[in-house]
Amino acid sequence: MNDLELSRTKEAAFHGLDRQFISDGMRLILILPVMALFFLFTAWAFATKSPEFWANSIEPTLTISFGRAMTLLAIVIQLGFCLGLWVHRERVKWTRRVFDSEVQTAALAHRPVTSMHGFESVNQLMQRTRNSHSSALSMGVVAFAITSLSLLATKDNPIVGVSLLAASSLITTAIGQHLSTRNRKFHMVEKDGLLTAYNPPLHPSTLSLVFSDLLRTHMDPLLRSHFDDFILIFDSHLRQDIQRDFAREKFLMTMHRRRKGAIDKGTTHLELSEILDDEGVSIILEHNVFNERIWDSLIERTLTSCPAFYRLIDRLEQDLAVGKRLDMDDLLFDVDLENVVTEKADLFCYLHNLSDQTRNVVLRVQSADFRPHDLALRYSLEPGEKKWWPDEAVPVASEGDDDQLGRMSGLLRDGVMTWQTLIPKRKGEASVAIRLEEITGDLLVGRQINVRVRSEFRSWIRNTGSFICLTLGGFGLVAAIVIQALAVLAGA
């Protein structure tokens, strides 16, 4: 077993424990410290005197005060908390080793990952997460040691209360450190384990191959390094007289429709057999990296990040299905923006020239609630094929490219899809005006989209909880130090 296989085996073992019991599943990494804090504060409250039910019936038998009994329970729970933090940190350590090994393997295969966009952000995220887990574990161990040492002092000694306060503060700070790492989870057990940790640093403004560019943008650096190899295999199995761009878009469109249940497995094979040879269909669907599960994860990731894109695509499909007539002569235009905006707004606009002459238009985006306030983009729309948008209803599936899938693939290939990122200036209601104009400034069509800007709830909860825990923990530590310093000075 080589180093990579050994690292993968250990990561899988720690990831299984972590997912089932520690950070997910039972979530012991949150339950245990909360229980420890409860017993520590209870021990602090009854450090000098036991409650009557304990003093009269239990303490004479066990010969231990209520406060010390609660302290012992807190010590046991803290030991479990430290063990959970250790498992969590070990999982991240082995994930980092697998990641480094994969990067080295990619470099040897002439797929340099370190030079790709987003590599540094993923690399720094892993390092910051491991440092946070190490800090949390150190605090948990120190809290465990302080609580254990407090048993050596007599119950009337003021240092007992100070020790319990310091231990409680350290555990609270450890919780804050852990919460700060939960917004972007990652692992290397599965090929899509880095997708949620990867945040695209940039994206193309105009998508040349719509689905390919969108999915490629959201791939993490390691997955993106395998994509070029996949495309070479895909192109090598194309049928004769099938254009590469059309085939790639049709394949990804097929994966999207299969994921949302619009077509079944048999129809998927039928559609792919129109662009790939028989051997190629099996190889592509059973690829060791880009299998159906990976495509589902990628589409799900882009659906979460860019819901406006899929709404626009679905609306075009519905218009094709009913044979909707164009609002403008020989020009297809549609636009969409997500209803709820968090960190950024992704605006997608689709333009398609269905005439036989080149047409120049200006796309203008204006909003006082987003940056940039005024954006103007000039497009030269080449003549497209009018057959892609017939006046009659289009069947869901048929032989050839006269069905919805084939026509949508042609529309996406020949049209122009723009992707603009708008940064909100404030929370609350906001609006964006989109104008499509002639070069002379005459308005062709105008749209106004109203959205609501707010914080992402789960991230806000985690960030707020982390801040509160770190603040309370810091105040508690300062208070413990000040109380102990005053006690020393008073004794002197």
- Tokens 């989870």 correspond to 185
More confident site: 219 or 408: 219
The pTM of this model reads: 0.86
Residue percentage of the chain with pLDDT more than 90 = 53
Torsion angle of alpha carbons 307, 308, 311, 315, nearest 10°? -170
Does 492 score more than 60 pLDDT?
A: no
Per-residue pLDDT band at 400 (split at 50, 70, 90) = low
pLDDT at position 388, please? 67
Residue 389 banded pLDDT, cuts 50, 70, 90: confident
CB atoms within 10 A of CB 491: 7
CB atoms closer than 10 angstroms to residue 412? 25
For the ranges 149-153, 203-207, 208-212, 410-414, the lowest mean pLDDT is seen at 410-414
Cα–Cα distance measured from residue 220 to residue 487, given in angstroms and rounded to the nearest whole number: 55
Q: Are strands 345-353 and 370-371 parallel, antiparallel or unpaired?
A: unpaired
Mean pLDDT of 114-120: 86
What distance in Å separates the CA atoms of residue 57 and residue 76, rounded to the nearest whole number?
Answer: 24
- Compute the CA torsion angle 75, 76, 78, 83 (nearest 10 deg): 140
CA separation, residue 72 to residues 66, 160, 314 (Å): 10, 13, 60
Q: By C-alpha distance, which of 295, 78, 323 is closest to 191?
A: 295
Is the pLDDT score of 132 beyond 60? yes
Structure tokens given for 118: 């987003």
pLDDT average, residue stretch 83-106: 92
Strands (E), 127-260: 206-207
Cβ-based burial of 1 (10 A; exposed 0-12, middle 13-18, buried ≥19): exposed
The strand pairing partners of 334, in sequence order, are: 350
Q: What pLDDT, in 10s, does the model give residues 259-275?
A: 988 888 888 898 899 89
What type of residue is 100?
A: D
Q: How far apart are CA 235 and CA 229, in angstroms?
A: 10
* Cβ neighbours, 10 Å, residue 18: 23
Mean pLDDT over residues 458-465, rounded? Answer: 88
Q: Give the rounded percent of residues in the chain with a pLDDT score beyond 70.
A: 97
Predicted local distance difference test score (pLDDT) of residue 183: 81
Half-sphere exposure of 405 (CA within 13 A, CB side): 26
Which residues have a Cβ under 8 Å from the Cβ of 4 and sit 6 or more positions away?
98, 101, 102, 105
Residue 1 is predicted with a pLDDT of 58
**Helix residue ranges per DSSP H, 18-65:** 28-45, 52-53, 59-62
What would the pLDDT profile of 140-180 be if each residue is shown by its tens digit? 999 999 999 998 887 778 888 899 999 999 999 999 999 98
The whole-number pLDDT of residue 486 equals: 86
Numbers of helices and strands, H then E, in the chain: 16, 10
| Residue-level pLDDT at 96 | 93
387 falls in which pLDDT band (50, 70, 90)? Answer: low
Residue 408 has pLDDT above 60, yes or no: yes
pLDDT at residue 414 in the model: 83
Q: Is the alpha carbon torsion for 337, 364, 377, 422 positive or negative?
A: negative
pLDDT of residue 185: 86
Helix or strand or coil: residue 105?
helix
Residue 419: CA atoms inside 13 Å, Cβ hemisphere, count? 20
> pLDDT digit string (tens) for 57-74?
888 888 889 999 999 999
Q: What is the pLDDT of residues 329-343, one digit of tens each?
A: 778 899 999 999 988
Q: Is the pLDDT of residue 401 over 80?
A: no
329 vs 21: which has the higher pLDDT: 21
210-218 and 404-414 helices, crossing angle to 10°? 80
Residue ranges and CATH numbers for the domains of the chain are: 3-189+459-491 (no CATH), 204-305 (no CATH), 306-454 (2.60.40.10)
Which tokens is 248 given? 């790639």
Q: Is 366 exposed, middle or buried (0-12, 13-18, 19+ CB in 10 A)?
A: middle
CA distances (Å), origin 312, targets 29, 318, 319, 433: 42, 10, 11, 17
Residue pair 46/67 in contact (Cβ under 8 Å)? The answer is yes
Higher per-residue pLDDT: 36 or 278: 36
